[in-house]
Structure 1
Amino acid sequence: MTSRPPVAAILSLGLTQIIGYGTLYYSFSILAPDMARDFGWSIDWVFGLLSASLFLSGLVAPFAGRLMDRFGAGRVMAFGSLAAALSLVISATAPHRGVFMAGLLLTELSSNLVQYGAAFALLVEIRPREAKRSITYLTLIAGFASTIFWPITTFLHTHLSWQQVYLVFAGLNLVLCLPLHAWLSLYGRGGRRAPETVSDGGQAVLGLLPYASRPQGFRLMLIGMGLLSFVNAALLFHMVPVLTGLGLGTTAVLVATLFGPAQVLSRFTNMIFGKNLGALQLAVLTAVFAPLGILVLTLTHPFVPGAMVFAVIFGFGSGLSSIIFGTLPLTLFGSEGYGARQGQITLVRLAASAISPFGLAVVMERSGPDMVLWSLIGLGLVALAFFAALARLGRLALQPA
């Protein structure tokens, strides 16, 4: 039995993740102003529609996860690529607001079927015992999605309308992602080329926690991930306004640009040096970075170098969070039922991502950026406490009876 990660699967999924996140998520902020103009909305209303769509799609995520466990993540991702292409076509050709809203909702629903949660589940199906390393490599590749698609979208939009850009992106999902996902489905659950040892449990990962501790462990994990997602999404969405409100002025954008490279650096560092670091240890370490980075910003603003240190620390933690969202449930609960667990994690993550920008905007308007920072530090510390309790549960499981 080989111990190597499935390189072809990782590279293929890396490409589809870059396209999936780039076309379905990162492009929206660039195209949204023209969407708002064409439909006679304010830009805030357009982003409000995105938040509502994220929340509603999160409600469907657990069902999507169960479909992955039943039919195979590859087949679900292939269907998701088709749905993604259709959703972009519907949005681009929408004759009125109602059809556009339906297209946007379908875009977010299809995202559940093609992005990280589904990709992680497929890697677990293909080679369960190598899935932790595979997930780390995949997140490193997919971390370039914003770096690649923000300029691509901007370039296309200088020559094409937003509707035409969406049609181009629909073609990418249909011509590139759909065939790759269909091919990968052959190696996943129920596929013709799936290793027999996967189907009969020979390569299955059993999970660290005993069955009696799993309900408690799952609750601790979900709450910790939800709080961490809230902090990350809230500050990432409002990073430039918060930095500007703290007195950084025109340097706020420069500081914010450090976030993306720090995310990629964290994944690369973990790939090289984190081989002996367990998923629970990595989870606790990840939860430290958010409150630590925000504390540095709180104590040093408007000192620009301090803000730059914040952006690097915060980006480092955000990059690692994508890894633990994939590896931690596999370590604690095993490969059986992994898709359903990813669905529940996606629900929590999307709910936090949908609610947090609005919640932070209210706090910022009423109390200012300083209160925003202290509130996020508090939530980050609570998340750290939940991950620490989860790590303690894991240590107890390792002790001899």
Structure 2
Amino acid sequence: MTEIRLAENTSPPPPQRRTRRLPHPAWTVAAVGFVALIGAAAFRSVPSVLMDPLHEEFGWSHGTIGAAVSVNMLLYGVISPFAAALMDRFGIRRVVSCALVLVAAGSGLTVFMTRPWQLMATWGLLVGVGVGSMSMPFVATLTGRWFVRHRGLVTGVLTAAGATGQLVFLPLISALARDHGWRVPALVVAATALAVVPLVVVCLRDYPSDIGRRAYGAGPDDETGNRTVAAGGAMRAVTVLAEVVRRPVFWLLAGGFAICGASTNGLVGTHFVSAAHDHGMPPTTAAGLLATVGIFDVAGTIASGWLTDRIGSRYLLTAYYALRGLSLLVLPALFAPDVRPSMWMFIVFYGLDWIATVPPTVALCRTHFGADGAIAFGWVFASHQIGAAIAAAGAGVIRDLQGNYQLAWYLAGGLCAVAAVLSLSIRQPPSRPVPTQ
């Protein structure tokens, strides 16, 4: 009997190639959205720095310039829900690209203006519509389509882009206006807006399903991120408004967010530099303080997004508004020709609280209004900008009549207490009954 032995292959197996796992494309989309939002915030922050140079060159009153800023803020809010609906209809990429072109046109044309109505037409109308199309509903739309996991955190990061834009641009714009006049900063804004357009066109995508992917963190049966056929943009925005105004929670959210806008963009964002200058502080120093608000706003808003995934949103809003109101009541006593420790404490706190309200507000809109949450938030955000517009114009009138902003700070502090009460009054929607077999 012959024993047949099979030769064993003792050579080592060929080495397996390690496949490098690429990041989910949702992170690329979020990064491009972050850049676009940085630009939008920077474009909105410019008028606060240019208020005194425009007053000195043209003799326009603070109330007149504040009225132009209020038109910008009003359109910034009113356009938002329509922009969210248009993003559903025509896509994020097209809407954001057109918005950047409008911003560039509005900012660039200001160098030719000689009348107040031209300031309202350019910086008010064109820039207002442009930045309104890249406002917070853009954040709600992007995160709602591309993220399931970490949605609150990403909302906070994208919201913080507004602070980053303020941080990057305010000191630069202030220095350029001081050394070269206000026209150079206007042209810088126009060039920056145009430079972002190619990035949006190449990298921004509308839905994960367009590239054969699911939303980040979505399960196999999760429909998040699939392209849907949307109704007409403007009509859908109006239809959603007609539905949500029937619900008390909408008015609670809108009322609180209107006060949020009045106490941030409308008052501090527009008039802080001018108010500090009234007390002898150089405009560049005041602009640096306002930019520092942006540094801490990044941390505060990201932290708020993280907290929104873990704590009841109405409790977060109540705390944010109450603490903000207290800080505004003490602000008039902190102004001085130089920057003292007490002012630094205000800047740090106000930065942490600046737009920390956005992630919990977005979450509440999504919870109460479901698939219409992004557009509903657009209308809530419109109230934010209505409040900002009223404060921007009203504080300018108070400054012209009384020679200082003291009454404006006290009124804003009291309104923040009202916002805290409104937020605490929000209740969770009733849970839907589970169908029985």
TM-score tier, shorter chain, comes to: 0.7 to 0.9
Specify the alignment match of 1:103 in structure 2. Answer: 122
CA contact (8 A) 1:84 1:110 kept: yes
User: What's the offset of the Cα at 1:75?
Assistant: 2.5
Query: Tell me, what secondary structure is at the counterpart of 1:114?
Result: coil
- Does the aligned pair in 2 maintain the 1:61–1:346 contact within 8 Å? yes
Cα pair 1:62 1:347 within 8 Å, conserved:
yes
Cα offset for 1:5? 9.0
**1:226 Cα offset (Å):** 1.0
Q: 1:397 to 1:313 in 2, by over 3 A?
A: farther
In structure 2, C-alpha distance between the alignment counterparts of 1:219 and 1:3, rounded to whole Å: 40
> Does structure 1 residue 264 correspond to structure 2 residue 298?
yes
- The amino acid that maps onto 2:382 is L
Please give the residue correspondences for 1:196-345 in structure 2 after superposition, counting only pairs within 5 Å: 202-203=223-224, 215-232=247-264, 233-239=266-272, 253=286, 259-270=293-304, 275-295=309-329, 297=331, 305-334=341-370, 336-345=371-380
Q: Residues 88 and 231 of structure 1: is their aligned pair in 2 closer, same or farther, counting only changes over 3 Å? A: closer
150-159 or 340-349, which deviates more: 150-159
- What is the CA-CA distance between 1:383 and the residue it aligns to? 0.6
Query: Shift of residue 356 of structure 1?
Result: 0.9
Distance 1:267 1:55, change over 3 A: closer
Check whether the contact 1:65–1:341 (CA below 8 A) recurs between aligned residues: no
Q: How does 1:46-65 map to 2 (within 5 A)?
A: 46-65=65-84
Larger CA deviation: 341-350 vs 165-174: 165-174
State the match for 2:9 in structure 1.
Answer: none
| CA deviation after TM superposition for structure 1 residue 212, in Å | 10
8 Å contact kept, 1:69–1:339: no
| Bigger radius of gyration | 2
Matched, 1:181 2:200: yes
Offset, 1:57: 4.7
SS of equivalent to 2:389: helix
- Asked if the contact 2:71–2:128 (Cα under 8 Å) also holds between the matched residues in 1, the reply is no
What are the residue-to-residue correspondences of 1:148-187 with 2, within 5 Å? Answer: 148-157=168-177, 162-176=182-196, 178-187=197-206
The residue type paired with residue 224 of structure 1 is: G
Who is 1:397 aligned against? 430
C-alpha distance in structure 1 between counterparts of 2:99 and 2:31, whole Å: 19
CA deviation vs aligned residue, 1:107-164 (integer Å, no higher than 9, x gap): 1111111233323322322235543221112233442212211233245456756445
**Distance between the aligned counterparts of 2:128 and 2:346, measured in 1?**
31
Please give the alpha-carbon distance, in whole angstroms, between the structure 1 residues aligned to 2:432 and 2:346: 38
- Residue identity opposite 2:109 in structure 1: I
Quote how far apart the aligned CAs of 1:228 are. 2.4
1:56 and 1:346 map into 2 onto residues whose CA distance is 11
Q: Closer, same or farther in 2 for the Cα pair 1:42/1:378, shift >3 Å? A: closer
Name the TM-score, length of structure 2 as normaliser.
Answer: 0.72
Q: Distance in 2 between matches of 1:58 and 1:263?
A: 21
Matched AA of 2:414: G
Structure-2 separation of matches of 1:165 and 1:14:
22
Distance 1:279 1:69, change over 3 A: farther
Q: 1:329 to 1:363 in 2, by over 3 A?
A: same
Change (3 A) 1:319 1:36: same
Aligned ranges for residues 111-150 of structure 1 at < 5 Å? 111-128=131-148, 130-150=150-170
Q: 2:137, 2:375 within 8 Å by CA — same for their partners in 1?
A: no
TM-score, normalising length: structure 1 = 0.77
Alpha-carbon displacement from aligned partner over 1:63-92 (angstroms, at most 9, x marks no partner): 323222322333211221222222233333
Q: CA 1:249/1:39 → structure 2, altered by over 3 Å: closer, same or farther?
A: closer
Evaluate the alpha carbon distance shift between residue 194 and residue 280 of structure 1 in structure 2; reply closer, same or farther with a 3 A threshold: farther
Task: List gaps (5 residues or longer) in structure 2.
Answer: 1-21, 226-242
In terms of fraction of residues, the more helix-rich structure is: 1
Q: Which residue of 2 aligns with 1:68?
A: 87
In terms of mean alpha carbon deviation, does 323-332 or 214-223 score higher? 323-332
Q: Report the CA distance between 1:37 and its aligned residue.
A: 6.0
Q: Does structure 1 residue 350 correspond to structure 2 residue 385?
A: yes
* Structure 1 alignment gaps of length 5 or more: 205-210
Name the residue aligned to 2:416: 380
Deviations 1:249-291 (A, max 9, x none): 7599597676344323313444666652343332222222212
User: In 1, are the aligned partners of 2:46 and 2:170 still within 8 Å (CA)?
Assistant: yes
1:265–1:316 Cα contact (<8 Å) kept = yes
- What's the secondary structure of 1:397's corresponding residue? coil
Report deviation, 1:355: 0.7
